[in-house]
Structure 1
Amino acid sequence: MTALHCDGSLTADRASYGGIIRDDNSVLGMELLAILRGVTLCIQKDLLRVSIRSYSKLAVDILNGIVSCPWSLQALKVRITSLMEQLQRKEIRHVWRELNQPADFVAAIDTGDGESFFYPPDFPLDLVELIKNDSDRKTYFRTPSH
């Protein structure tokens, strides 16, 4: 299915609307690209025992061979699985969104075109707080959807 996200706005001096049309494969493609880039960096830095954690259950299930990959993303899946063969130890796990907040925060930073790297001394304070919550094993309580 295609998702259509819509919003309208009305203020004293302006009326506007906006929307985004996207399909599951576009979001899934970004999730898989993030995993590909992360695994590539781990290998480059000789970090060969890796626990890959993503809140995209679909990406995790595809890489674990539980569900089939959409044809349009098959080449990307093959690149990831091929790279993972270089790892000495690996696991691919689904985590809830709350546990993936530092990665979600970094993905949302607008750095313009291209790729950016952040090192601990340069982390934004909000990111430092999210990482601290993670290392302190902060408990999150999920509320049921209505």
Structure 2
Amino acid sequence: MNMPSRPSWGARSIFKAREEANQLICCVIGDGKGIDFWKQPWHPDGFISHLYPEGRILNTLPQSTTVDNLLSNGEWIPTNQRTLPGLHPILNSALIIPGNHNQVIWKPHVNGNFTLTSACWIPPDEGRFKLNSDTSLCQTEVAIGGLVRDSNSSNITAFSINMPPKSIQELEMQAILVGPASARKLGLNHLWIESDSLFAINAINGKIKCLWKQIPILFNLKALLSEFQSWKITHIWREANSAPDLVSKTNCCIKVEDLPPSNLPPDLMALVLDDSSGTLYTRL
């Protein structure tokens, strides 16, 4: 289904959600029947039209091609290297179980099952880093904290600082601002930022207007992000954002200004290990 020529706000939202969901699904190929070779995200690395655009440009495979057209007895039919150079190695990384039905996999779930009642921490791609931040209020103390992690959580940097009392929205945006500054000090060029503050995410992405007090924070953040080669910022459910929450609470409660990777508290390391193993957290 294609987007209407004059879509409503609801239609645009649905199509945008579909694009985001497509990045989180792939298929275990059985017979390959009914799977559009070009237009469906059946490959674990995304759309074939993005992985191998030459095929569409050269028009060597019709737009109507389905995956089963290129399979025989569970094996990929050898392709002509003159007309489709480099396609076969891409196909060989697909997931195939001959004789089974095609199965859709929801990548955020450790078992591949789709669910809306739980949440998990999704690691960044290999070679990229992810920043999660949060804010904690402990009696009269306020602190912000965060974690920068790589794809397998083997490289971890934590930060946490005390803050003067402000509105929770300002603090959440401030927490996001401090994170990229720490990432730049580490020499990182590609960053995925996550926060459980939907207000902050929407304000940074330009979906809503922030209050005048928050404009300087937003301005400084965008200036800082422009120094990265690539970046994106998305929302994460609070239940899957417990690690940075604990970092901020640690600073708030025991006055730790710096949390070096070699000295992370055991309870924080336990949360990091749970996140990296794909643990599902029940949403409340």
Q: TM class, shorter-chain normalised?
A: 0.7 to 0.9
SS in 2 for 1:81: helix
Per-residue CA deviation, residues 47-106 of structure 1 (Å, 9 max, x unaligned), is 110000000010011011111111111111100011100011100000001211110001
SS in 2 for 1:131: helix
In 1: Cα distance, 2:188 partner to 2:248 partner = 22
In percent, how many aligned pairs have the same letter? 29
| Structure 1 residue 43 corresponds to structure 2 residue 184 | yes
Per-residue CA deviation, residues 15-63 of structure 1 (Å, 9 max, x unaligned), is xxxx98xxxx711111111111111111111111000000001001101
Match of 1:122 among 239, 263, 273: 263
TM-score by length of 2: 0.40
Q: Which has the larger radius of gyration?
A: 2
Q: 1:119 Cα deviation (Å)? A: 2.1
| Partner residue, 2:220 | 79
Per residue, is there more helix in 1 or in 2? Answer: 1
Structure 1's unaligned 5+ residue stretches are 1-18
Residue pairs, 1:3-22, within 5 angstroms:
none
SS in 2 for 1:90: strand
Q: Which runs of 4+ in 1 moved over 6 A?
A: none
Residue pairs, 1:1-146, within 5 angstroms:
26-109=167-250, 110-112=253-255, 116-143=257-284
Structure 2's unaligned 5+ residue stretches are 1-138, 141-165
In 1: Cα distance, 2:175 partner to 2:283 partner = 25
SS in 1 for 2:271: helix
CA spacing shift, 1:45–1:120, aligned 2, 3 Å? closer
